[in-house]
Chain A
Amino acid sequence: MQTAECKPKMKESRLTRPQKRLVKTIVLQIVLVSLSFVFLFPFLWMLVTALKTPQELLHGIEKFFPDSPQWGNFVTAVTTVPFLMYLKNSLILVFFAVTGTLFSATLTAYAFAKLRWPGRDIFFVVMLATMMIPPQAILIPSYILYAHIGWLGTRLPLIVPYFFGGGAAFFIFLLRQFFKGIPNELMESAIVDGAGHLKIFIYLMLPLTKPALITVALITFMFVWNDYFGPLIFLSNPDHWTLALGLRAFETQFTGRYELMMAAAILVMSPTIVLFFVAQKHFIEGITFTGIKG
């Protein structure tokens, strides 16, 4: 860092370095604050809707803010459904999905990024192709498959596939991109030192791609946590239902309780927001190759 501070010449600029930085910060803050509003609006709207009375909802956004915030809507949303059971179910699915995806995606990505084996490039394209079929087209065959294995009525259809790269094509590709960024010399010197690929994978690849692994875990978490369609179709037993699915009870044909729907939706999404906030901190102090490389 001190090299940066005792910098040589600053030809044209009239502003001093700290001044320049200040101006930059202010401009950036203004840009970010104004953009934030546009990105935050849907959430704000959900929040004010969740706090309204049904009568207020009849008038749409004629009045944006509720007269007296109905915080009780959140309580109602939680207490009218078996919240704890749904929460437990969501956590079970998320836990296995994240573990399973990290397990299968990292291993496979390593094979695609750093190992040479026959058919690798063909399989890579096949993997991409599995993402290109519209999901509706394979819905019924998948259901029939699980019915034949006898998994309907259990959670297995939403657990086991993750350990075998189910839905992981996206992450395998992503991690492949990151693994390819790890210098080959590092691997070579490890091999010369007698390390096997498993060792390289565990002690070299995984630690060096921590931000990517966090990203994979985060996206998997978000997807599984928010997904109601998979649970709707594949969880035949309502005792296995998740929060995202269970809280859809408030969406009915006519007598919809919009305020409860939105309260429920906020409850579902809030853990993901907190998690994102925590996880993104790791993106600031990322690891670098400094030191290992030379």
Chain B
Amino acid sequence: MKKLLIVPVLLVFGLTLAACGDREDIGDKTEIRFWHMSPTGSESYSEMRQIIRDFNESQDEYHVRGTGFNFWDYWDRIGVAIASGDAPNIAFHTLDNVVLRAQGGALANISELIAADIAKGEDTLDLEVYLENQLEFATHDDDLYALPFSGTTRMLFYNLDIFEANGLTEDDVPTTWSELETVARQLDDVDADGRINILGFDPTFGEGTYHGFLWQKGLDFFDEDLNPTLDTDEHLEVLEWMLDFNDIYSRSRLDAFGEESQMLGISPFAAGRLGMVISSDGLYQTMRSYGADINYGVAPIPVPDEDGIRVNWGSGFSIEIYDDDPEKVEGTWEFLKYLQDYDTQIRLAETLGFLMSNIPAMEEYAEGNPILEAFVEELHYAVDKVYVPYAPNWHAMDWMQYFEEGLAGRKSAAEVLEAARDNYIQKRENYERMQ
């Protein structure tokens, strides 16, 4: 009986304990909630906090309160918050689907904020510093609803140690698909019994994507009305090139190599098992932070021999202002301008490890580091993937399921394309039924 009485007592005690917040007093400043990806204890935390603190100390009207979540948790958290009308005032998101949130009325109109600054005769953001392709993705109905925050681009990483072991130098780094095949064959290292030790290159490894290779030929997944294409001979040709790149080895040997790579933790390239791989600057960050001891360089992704286009799949974060609290938009806008500022962008790049969207700032940041310089240069050739309302993840699950069938040899390239196309068509029909 006594035990039962304790419960309500503890409950009351606990509720008072649990309910009291211990937040710092900010006086009559306006509080601005900012969500980022540098949680307490992460490597970028203290510098991110300092960046926020510097803003808070630079003026006395607003107080920015930052909350960091790790990258993997961030999307669930902000998704629920936006859906529930409890979004922070300003946060990162993904640039390639800004239009979804803009249409839904979640975002503040950046173009209007810029116009208001100009009307007041104040300094405002210079949009010239951003890549045009990135700005397009932040635009809905001719107005900006977000700004590009970071920039990602994909390049060919090559292992110079493996090159040298095969008598090749940096001059031999391939620039076309046929050179790529020749060099890859030279780098392959296969045991007498057929086991693959080192694979020169495989278009399906790392971040090589079918749509990336299609773009290099001027092709795409969808036409201008967002209907799936995929049914031309050229599409088939590119897919077959990808799937058959290493067909001089048996499926089982390649599978075995893939399995070993799976067990090799971080990345088969970093472990010295791949001569070349397509990857984003993320791989550079990974190898730097793990202290990889291989000698490597980066180059633009080789292009098709005829009429090849230098283009790669680039993506990035957006930074956006959520519209829930109109009273705070003004202060939030000041903070956003601070974050996008030349100096802050360099600090952010140093802190977060990825390239930011402000190109001149990134050029200064990369100076003296040949790998970063190459990446900043390549940003100009990066294109983000189109937002398809009926299949926002057309490049991921919707495509990969079929692609992997082809990879495993259970479907021919033609069957893969047909099945994927049928799936997109069904998704579109179903999506339209819901309208």
Is A in direct contact with B (CB under 8 Å) within the complex? yes
By a beta-carbon cutoff of 8 Å, the part of chain A in contact with chain B is 53-55, 57-62, 80-82, 92, 95-96, 99, 103, 139-140, 143-144, 147, 152-156, 159-160, 163, 198, 202, 228-229, 232-233, 237-239, 241, 245-258
A60-B266, A237-B23, A255-B289 known; A143 and B14 CB under 8 Å?
no
Complex Cα–Cα for A74 and B318 (A): 35
Stretch from B66-74, B140-148, B194-202 at the A interface:
B66-74
Asked if B103 is an interface residue, CB under 8 A from chain A, the answer is: no
- Is A58 in contact with B266, judged by CB distance below 8 angstroms? yes
Quick one: which of A80, A152, A253 contacts B41, CB cutoff 8 A? A80
Q: Mark out the residues of chain B between 225 and 251 whose CB falls within 8 Å of any chain A CB in the assembled complex.
A: none
Cα–Cα, bound, A58→B19 (Å): 45
**C-alpha gap A241/B267 in the complex (Å):** 32
> What residues on A are CB-neighbors of B291 within 8 Å?
53-55, 58
Contact of A254 among B17, B45, B73, B282 (CB under 8 A): B282
Complex interface bits, B8-37 against A, C-beta within 8 A gives 1, otherwise 0: 001100110111011100000000000001
A interface, over-half SS:
helix
B71 contacts A253, CB within 8 Å?
Answer: yes
Rounded to whole angstroms, the CA-CA distance of A233 and B37 in the bound complex is 15
B1 A202 Cβ-Cβ under 8 A: yes
Could you list some 5 contacts between A and B, CB below 8 A? A60-B266, A251-B71, A252-B37, A253-B71, A257-B289
A/B pair count, beta carbons within 8 Å: 151
B265 touches A58 (CB 8 A): yes
- Which residues does B use to contact A, with CB under 8 Å? 1, 3-4, 7, 10-11, 14-15, 17-19, 21-23, 37, 39-45, 67-73, 76-77, 80-81, 83-86, 263-267, 270-271, 282-283, 285-293, 353-354
Among A139, A147, A248, A255, the one with the most B-chain Cβ atoms within 10 Å of its Cβ is A255
Contacts of B293 in A (CB 8 A): 55
Question: Is the pair B263, A61 in contact by a Cβ cutoff of 8 Å?
Answer: yes
Which residues on the B side are within 8 Å of A202 (C-beta)? Answer: 1, 3-4
CB distance from B96 to the nearest CB of A (A): 16
A233 and B84 alpha carbons, distance in the complex (Å) = 12
Contact of A246 among B7, B41, B270 (CB under 8 A): B41
Q: How far is the CA of A214 from the CA of B229 in the complex (A)?
A: 61
Give the Cβ gap from B39 to chain A, nearest Cβ, in Å. Answer: 4
Is there contact, CB below 8 Å, between B21 and A154?
Answer: yes
- The contact of B289 among A80, A153, A254, by CB within 8 Å, is A254
A238 CA to B38 CA in the complex, in Å? 12
Chain A's nearest CB lies how many Å from the CB of B401? 21
Please name all residues of chain A whose beta carbon is closer than 8 Å to the beta carbon of B77 when the two chains form the complex: 232-233
Seed contacts A249-B68, A250-B41; 6 additional CB < 8 Å A-B pairs: A154-B21, A238-B40, A248-B70, A250-B70, A252-B42, A252-B71
Given contacts A61-B265, A252-B37, contact A232 B73 (CB under 8 A): yes
Question: A-B pairs with the 6 shortest C-beta distances?
Answer: A60-B265, A81-B41, A249-B41, A60-B264, A255-B289, A155-B18
